[in-house]
Chain A
Amino acid sequence: MAVNVDNTFDIVIIGAGAVGCAVARELSRFDLKIAVLEKESDVAAGTSGRNSAVVHAGFNNKPGSLMARLCVEGNEGFEQVCAELDVPCKKTGKLIVAFDETDFPGIDKLMENGRKNGVKGLEFVDAQVVRRLEPHVGGIGAMLSPNTAITSPFIYTVALAENACENGVKFFFETQVNGITRQDKLFRLTAGKRHFYSRYVVNSAGLYSDRIASLAGEKGYKIYPCRGEYFILDKRTSQYLSMPVYPVPRPGIGGLGVHLTPTVDGNMLIGPSAEYIKSKSDYSATSSVMEQLFKEAKELLPPLEMKHIIRSYTGIRSKLVGPKTGGFGDFIIEESKAVPGLVNLIGIESPGLTSSVPIGRMVRDIISNKEDLVAKRDFITGRKGITPFRELALEQKEKLIKEFPEYGEIICRCEGITKKEIVEAINNPLGVTTLAGIKYRARPMMGRCQGGYCLTRIVDILKEQKGLEPQQVTLRGSNSRLFTGRVK
């Protein structure tokens, strides 16, 4: 069944976010020729890399919705996937805190929702238990969700993509699809001067999934971009928080409210705000929101100080409901009726990360309902990530340095990242050599000094490993050049 021309595939997946990569990995179990086309220079460049990094339990979503079902299913399997793919995941649990009695009905509703959705282990805890669990957080009671976890969405997406890649999926970066037509029985996708042909197109273009559907001939979808801003705090703050802490959601807002989330790396996140914006590419942070965020976070956790902030970032939710309606829509996961062979994944906002693997399985089922899929015998289940040297015991460290002296060269002082880790990140299986790609894979430049110490060294290593001249080094591909060239 597989076709054997370089630009012809059985399946083209548009978008290398968490969902697109989960779909790619799931389909790579079968004897199919698959390509992933991504307009940015790396995976997880959009919403997948810009969120709270929480593996949700599924109590927020409307009973009976796809969101509820896939989230619960995704949560249950998440640790297993992370174990297979060497992705950090920590089942911290989560608190939804009531600050006064008016919050109790909201908690009751969540408990009820959770029960209907089949979420396990939810319980109401009193102020005393809240204090024991999170001594720095106030509140008069809370709902505890023991199965909520935290992960690294970027590493998760990289891991899915790398595993898919090892199982034969081709990734094309900086490849923006701007035309989809039918030619005989195939789709013809145009990206700049290049063409791709495929029998199926999976539209997992996130914020741009409405545009891709429309290019393929299915009009009528509209994604409303809703921006959320975050702060990342210094690791010193990890002493104040052990699990995600959320306020009780207020009706009408497009998100879950400003919350505090520890990260798997030991930082803390504040955010996100929720603000409908016009442009899908406007990742600007705004001063008014930044001030408000910090104010709300400090109400949740009084010991926080401005000086704990090490940087800010923003993400954009791809919502199917506009500002007038508010709240959440539901995922659309189906083969287009107007355009057979086009599988639409639209409106995949939170809990999209948690649901990504079940979404992959749904796409598989959609295709296997149309034709028989043949499982590969040599499918490789596992994937090995970059070993975080800093987390090893002394004896292990000594052993590794003896074997690879580059482990003895600390390049990023704040995060304790060695040259070996950075070299591995630069030589990643997906072939990404952007500075952001290195940063998110190995964590240099993520600490207090934000690259003040290591940026210059990484420039040297890029030259050493890939022969990149200064003017060829980019932050995120295309024209995001870091330098203009040589001084003299």
Chain B
Amino acid sequence: METDREIVCIVCPNGCRMKVYIDDRNRVVRVENALCRNGGTYAKKEVQSPERSLTSTVKVTGGALPLVSVRSSKPIPRDKIREAAALLRSLHIQAPVDFHQVLLSDILGTGADIIATRQVLKA
């Protein structure tokens, strides 16, 4: 039996409100109201194993700034976001920090690295 569900696409700011039809084995059968193909891909992911990018900060010691902004190198499972963010709260790094420097590899076994999104020079 097919069910349908509204999913708002978060890939881009268009924010398409898609109508997603799902079969009884939790597979996406059809996607309506998506402006581009990314919508369909996102909808499948969102139904089966939703993922999000993590953006946060990491404490820097001896730097020109007290924090460096970071992100995950690729999206990680949505249900690991909180745990990953909590993990970053206990991490700190010595300045200098390079742009896109890897600060933590394979966070929570997700295969994603935590990388700096800016440079922080020594104080």
Q: Do A and B come from one complex?
A: yes
A324: Cβ under 8 A from any B Cβ: no
CB neighbors of A among B74-113 (8 A): 88-89, 92
Q: Is the C-beta of A377 less than 8 angstroms from some C-beta in chain B? A: no
Query: A393 at interface (Cβ–Cβ under 8 A)?
Result: no
**B41-67 to A contact mask, C-beta < 8 Å, 1/0:** 000000000000000011100000011
| Number of B residues with CB within 8 Å of any CB on chain A | 8
What are 10 of the A-B contact pairs (CB < 8 Å)? A486-B66, A487-B57, A487-B67, A488-B57, A488-B58, A488-B59, A488-B67, A488-B88, A488-B89, A488-B92
Q: Which residues of A contact B (CB under 8 A)?
A: 486-488
- CB within 8 Å of A: which residues of B? 57-59, 66-67, 88-89, 92
Residues of B within 8 A of A486 (CB): 66
Task: Say whether chain B's binding surface is mostly helix, strand, loop, or mixed.
Answer: strand
Q: How far is the CA of A488 from the CA of B57 in the complex (A)?
A: 9
Contacts of B58 in A (CB 8 A): 488
Min CB distance A147 to B, Å, is: 55
Residues of A within 8 A of B66 (CB): 486
Question: In the docked arrangement, what's the CA distance between A93 and B57, Å?
Answer: 57
Given contacts A488-B59, A488-B67, A488-B88, 7 further A-B pairs with CB under 8 A are: A486-B66, A487-B57, A487-B67, A488-B57, A488-B58, A488-B89, A488-B92
Residue numbers in A under 8 Å from B89 (CB-CB) = 488
Q: How far is the CB of B116 from chain A (nearest CB, A)?
A: 15
A488 partner residues in chain B, CB cutoff 8 A = 57-59, 67, 88-89, 92
On chain B, the residues within 8 Å of A487 by CB distance are 57, 67
| Bound-state Cα–Cα, A486 to B59, Å | 10
Docked CA distance A17–B58 (Å): 47
Q: How far is the CB of A468 from chain B (nearest CB, A)?
A: 15
- In the bound complex, CA of A488 to CA of B92 (Å): 9
Residues of A with C-beta under 8 A to B67: 487-488
- Give bound CA distance, A142 to B70, whole Å: 66
